[in-house]
Structure formats: structure tokens, C-alpha cells
Amino acid sequence: MSHNNAPTIRNFIVQLLVAFITVLGSFVFIPTTVSAISFTKEETTFTVKNGQVKPTKNTVIDWSGIAGFIVIIVIGSLIFSKSKSSSSNKTNKKQLKTPSSASRPNKTNTPPNQKTSEQMPKTDTQKISAEVKKVINCIGISEQVDAEPIKKLLHEKKTKSAIMAIAEHLSLGNLNVSVIRKTTTKRDEKNLNHHTLAEVNVSDVGVFGSTHFKYRPCNITIYPGSEDNPDTFISVIAHEFCHIVLHSVKMPEKNTNDEERLTDLAVIFSGFSDIYKKGKKNRAGDTTIGYLSDDETSLACSLYSFELEEAKAFREELQKEYSDIMDKNSDKIRFINMVAKFLQNKNQKLNQEDVSKIGVCISAINKQQALQILNSTKEIKKLLQSKRYKSDRSSKDKIKLLRQTLNSVNMPDYEYIVILSKYI
């Protein structure tokens, strides 16, 4: 700190001395120079002639005036040169504080085949935002994963249990997972600077959440070095499982680098953002996994936090609107359920006196309308209870349609509903 300030203090003292000499010179020499601008002066001499003293005026050179003028010129030149030098030094210091990235020295021992963060291309914000939107539309956003229980399983050498815990968080708990260990390393074909740490192989995935999707055999192959860093291991396994999730929702860009980028984003937006960020680095601080640059990862994680809060606020708004509908139409919902159950039992034997009253109930709402309302309530309830948040417009449209459909239902008299309840 003191070493850096020494030149500044020295310059200040020099400038102070120059100012002092300038002021002194102005008081001593300037009046002389102004009074004898021609650099001459009249000098009176006295001579004695014939016993009388006679004054004689002579014009002589005023050396003090010339000296004063020269001193002023010299001092002015010094002040000008010092001022210019100080201004130049300040400019140079500013330039040294903000060097161009091209001239900045690389102090890290970076391997020739590995790019530093300064050599990485600038983050394409629009591209990342578009990819994030695509991922959210397909799989939504999940809360942040608590990784400590999974890390504990890994510490206890319960690798398969840890893998199943990751699968469970991704709603893949019904897959029939087998773990295969390899003793030799394998080069990552899509990123030649990295080794493959794990692979997933599952045949005919099917549609996510369908009966065909459940209990599918799934092989997870683990290569040497994958378990050295728990955060890296969790990120890698989550990445492999996210391939299954994206394929099951028919995400495009299969077997391309874009697919790998989308899969990394799926890991982040499935709640593994903190783990993914930590798992990218080894103890030396080098990037070890992933298809996103460090800057892209930071941007994606920031977008995850923002989008999660937005989606949670949207979910809360939907929950309030849905609760309001159900509270105001509770009697209608019960009545519609009764009609639906009655229509499902086609072998009902009705009393002749009840037929007309039940007919009034059935005519209040048709079967298709009743099923539409019941299906809508189930879908919305499932959406609101899902681990994955979605803020798409379709869910809000479903609630709006449910409200409109319920408003169109005209309830029959209570005594008719009581008669209908006897046959449920």
C-alpha cells in the first residue's frame, strides 16, 4: 500500500516547491521586468568639473530585469512540463487498471487443450434464454434438492441407493435400475477434453409418467473417477437420468451437442443447480464436467432462481383461484359426482315415483359435461400438487374453463337431489 503511494506523495512535494518558487519569483523579479521592459535603465553618475559636481544620466543594461525574465520563463516551463507529466501519468495509470483481455497476462497453468474463462466465447444470453424456455415448457421447474442425504449414502458406499434417490427426485423412482461398474476409462466423444464418467441405457422409454414408462429396465454404467467428487457424481447421474426425462417428453435435438446443453439445463432446472455448479470444478478449480461454460452456468443458475420464484408465485395464484372455485361451487361438485356415479351404474332399478325426479337431475347436466368438470378438477389438483412448477398459460385456461362450466350448471331442487342420493 505505502509503496504504491510513494510516487504520488513525491510529485505533490515537487509541485508544492515549484509553486512556492513561482510566487517568490513573482514578487522579486516581475516588478523589475515590468518597469524595464526594454531590459535597460537610466543610471545617474556624478562628475566633478571645475570644482562643481555635475550629474550625468547614462542608459545601461538592466541585468537584474533580464535575469528575472529568464527565471520566470524557466519556472513557467517547469510548471508546464510537470503538469503535462502528471496528466500523462494519470492517464497511464487508468489504462493499466483496465487492460484489454488480449494483452492481459495468463497467470494460470492452463493445459494447451483446455480453454480458460477468458478464452471462452462470450455468453449468448438470447440463446441460453431460449433454451431455458424450451426446457421449462417441457419439464417445468423443481425445488432445490437437498443433496446431503445423497452424499451420506455415497459416503457409506451405498452407490445404488444414492442413484435411486436421484431418480426419485426426478420422478423416475419406478425404473428398474441396474448399476454396471467399468474398470477402464472412456473418452467423451462429444467433449474430447473430458472422460466419460457415467452412461445410461434404457430401451423404449415411452411417454413420461405412462404405465409403459414405469418399471422399464435401466442400466447405469459407472466409469473410474466418477465417485471421486460427490457433487460431480450426483450431477453426472442426474444428467444421465435427465436424458431419459427429455426423451420421454419428446424433446428434439437428439444425439447432438444441443441435446447435451439442454440436458445440462434440465439438471439445473430439476433442482440440481447448486450441485451442478459445485460439481463442475475439481479441487484444482478446473472445469471437469458439463457442456455449458462457466459464464453460461452462472447465467442459467440465476435464471433458475428467478424462474422458480415466478413459477411459485404463479402456482400460489392458481391455488387461490382454484380454492375459490371449489368453495363457491362445493354443492355443485357434489351433485355432479352423484350424477356421474349414477350414470356409471346402468343396472339401477328405480321406483316408478322417483323416475321423473331423477330425470330432472340428469337433465340438469349431461354426461359429457359432468365428466369434463370432474376430469378438469383432477388435472388441476394434480398440477397444483406436482413437484414440478409450470407457469404456462394452459393451466390458467383450464381453471377459467372450469369456472365457466360450473356456472352453466343449474342445480335442481334439493328434494330431487335427495332422491338421487338413494341410488348412489
pLDDT value at residue 234:
94
Would you write out the chain's pLDDT as a tens digit for each of its 424 residues? 444 455 566 666 666 666 666 555 555 545 544 444 455 656 555 555 554 445 565 666 666 666 766 766 666 666 656 555 555 454 444 343 333 333 333 333 333 333 333 444 456 888 999 999 999 988 899 999 999 999 999 999 999 999 999 999 998 878 888 888 887 777 665 554 556 788 877 666 666 666 666 667 788 888 887 788 899 999 999 999 998 888 888 765 665 678 889 999 999 999 999 999 998 876 555 656 788 988 999 999 999 999 999 999 999 999 999 999 999 999 999 998 888 888 888 777 888 888 898 888 888 887 788 888 888 888 888 888 888 887 667 778 888 889 988 888 888 999 999 998 888 8
Rg of the chain's alpha carbons, rounded to an integer?
A: 43
CB under 8 Å to 416, separation ≥6 — which residues?
Answer: 357, 358, 360, 361
d(CA 64, CA 410): 118
Beta carbons of 242 and 255 less than 8 angstroms apart: no
d(CA 262, CA 70): 78
d(CA 379, CA 387): 14
pLDDT value at residue 341:
85
pTM listed for this prediction: 0.62
Q: Which of 282, 305, 300, 182 is nearest to 231 (CA)?
A: 282
